[in-house]
Chains A and B, each alone.
Chain A
Amino acid sequence: MDSFQHEAPMIAESRGWLVVPSGHLAVSTVATVDFGGTNAATTLRRGVLMLPGTGLRNGPQDLFVLFSRQCASWGLACLRVDYSFYGDSWPACDQAMQISTLRAEARAALDTFQADFALDELILLGLCTGGEIALSLAQEMPNVVACVLWSTAAVYSPLTPAKRARHAFTMLRMYGRKLFYLATWRKLLRGGVDGAMVRRTLTKRQVAPDSEKQSALGISKRRSGARRVPMLFVYGERDPDRRQAVQYYRRLFPDTAAITTVPKADHNFSSVAWATQATKLTKEWLSRQGLLGRLQQETDHAEGRYGLLSK
């Protein structure tokens, strides 16, 4: 192996805004400098759109930043996007919190990404709500060749008593912890605690019925059957929505869904080991699907450069 193959690929990152009807979306792109390769005419140009849940385009613990740099080293261009009302984006209207608006923004970002990088094939990677949006987009975009869905809850998940009890328990635990803070007691003694707010928090119901969400995203078994996009679902073992989501997506996509679990991990894979495992599973799956670029073998050694897969 010559020395050239030991050099990590040059990665170019750029940031900017994308103007959409609901505002200015902050976006970041990552790609290898020679994206497409020297034989670009015969190599398929693939891109990955990374859709966060409701958070920064960096993903939890900057996971999307690190993974997009890895993807670029494997020959995939990447786009990360802040929905309006998040990160650096700027909203122009107050509709952004609706799932249909998030979906429209993701679609606009995808179209621009595809056009600017002249992409032949697209891979969608979504976390949490981003996964639901990715699923929805995959149904209508003919050149989406794969979906990677991290911690994506079932789009149709009725609020069960167990789920409500779990929420109340989590909140009780949080309030219990706060009883150890001096400031909490100061506030209690001064009568500054908003009892109604505490009660509301403990008995909180879901803001919008999931059936509305399902309708906004347009995900249905009938429509999903029309396009058979390979999908990888990755869940943390301790993700409270995992069990229900696994059953739901197994039923919805019996032929195309590969479902895997990271032991002991939580919803956001908030440990280096869990994040490493999630990205490793993703990489292996993408590789099996034949979607990693020509750089894959050459740059395996470069993974350590970005921290995630070095162990």
Chain B
Amino acid sequence: MQPTAKCVVQGASWTETFVDISRDAYSIAGVLVEPEAAWREAIVICGSLLDHRKHMYRDLAMLARVLAQAGIATLRFDYSGFGESAGQAEQADLASFVDDAEACLCWLRAERPASSISCIGVGLGAIIAAHAVARSEPTPLIACQPLWQIETIQRGPFQRKPLYDGRIVDVNGYRIGQRLYRQLTANEWRQNFPPTAHIGAPTLLMHVQDGPSADAAQIYQELLERSGRAVVVHAFRAARFWLSAELPLPVAEVCRCICEWLPGYG
């Protein structure tokens, strides 16, 4: 099928292209959304995991388009072993997710060497994004509703207990490795956080005021500040709070915050 890659909608326009980013032996499925005009700002979006990723998928797609209207390009991607990316879900762990995010940052830098690149992490992706930016050159970090543990996103009323089956764990139908499950449940992600970061690179932390993820955001902020990293916090009010981690992202507000905060924007 020969796709039409360009989407032009209601006067505002952007180009949305499906890209395959090579990483070791396989490729990561990504979506590059570019403003029609020449752009210098770009953001790599690290989404969340498992069902949380699924619930936030549409919100992140819309966020990418709203950012494109504001002149900022974005690259979204599926972690290896999940979504449409290649790789084995059983072998994935925090390190492989960070490698994926880093590969995306490198790919974008190679595509547009002159651009200024930031990284945004949503939910569990906020932890991944923090690790990824620590590995590369100073990169602004945006964390949105950070989460630490799988329970936070798996505690909805329709969720079941994870099933163990030898080397894999079945989390609501997602087949993940023991190692990743341990990392997601035993607070392993917090033990080495924050990673050795470029102190000079700023961080914007956005979370829902009084929402169930507010505690996680507080811990995230404290850990980053303890390492000497400057954190700007924006707490937004949510119209609905019942679904906790599955809150719809207030896309327009998130976009406005990012545009106001991004060091090189405007």
Contacts and interface: CB of A to CB of B under 8 A. Distances in A.
B172 A270 contact: yes
Given A56-B57, A112-B1, A307-B175, A271 B163 contact: yes
A87 B61 CA distance: 7
B172 to A, nearest CB: 5
Nearest to B155: A177
Interface residues of B, number: 40
A92 B2 contact: no
Nearest to B242: A178
A180 to B, nearest CB: 9
B173 A17 contact: no
A141 interface: no
A268 B160 CA distance: 13
A90 B9 contact: yes
B160 A270 contact: yes
Contacts of A15: 3, 18, 29, 84
A307 B29 CA distance: 18
Contacts of A274: 173
A110 to B, nearest CB: 12
The prevalent SS among residues of A at the interface is mixed
Given A177-B157, A268-B173, A271-B173, A187 B1 contact: no
Nearest to A113: B1
Nearest to A186: B210
B4 interface: yes
Given A14-B1, A116-B1, A61 B210 contact: no
Contacts of A182: 212
26 contacts: A14-B1, A17-B16, A18-B4, A24-B4, A55-B54, A60-B173, A62-B83, A87-B57, A88-B31, A113-B1, A117-B1, A181-B244, A182-B212, A183-B212, A183-B214, A183-B241, A183-B244, A187-B210, A268-B173, A269-B173, A270-B172, A270-B173, A271-B160, A272-B163, A273-B163, A275-B173
Interface of A: 13-19, 24, 27-29, 55-56, 58, 60-63, 65, 79, 86-88, 90, 92, 112-113, 116-117, 170, 173-174, 177-178, 181-183, 186-187, 268-275, 307, 311
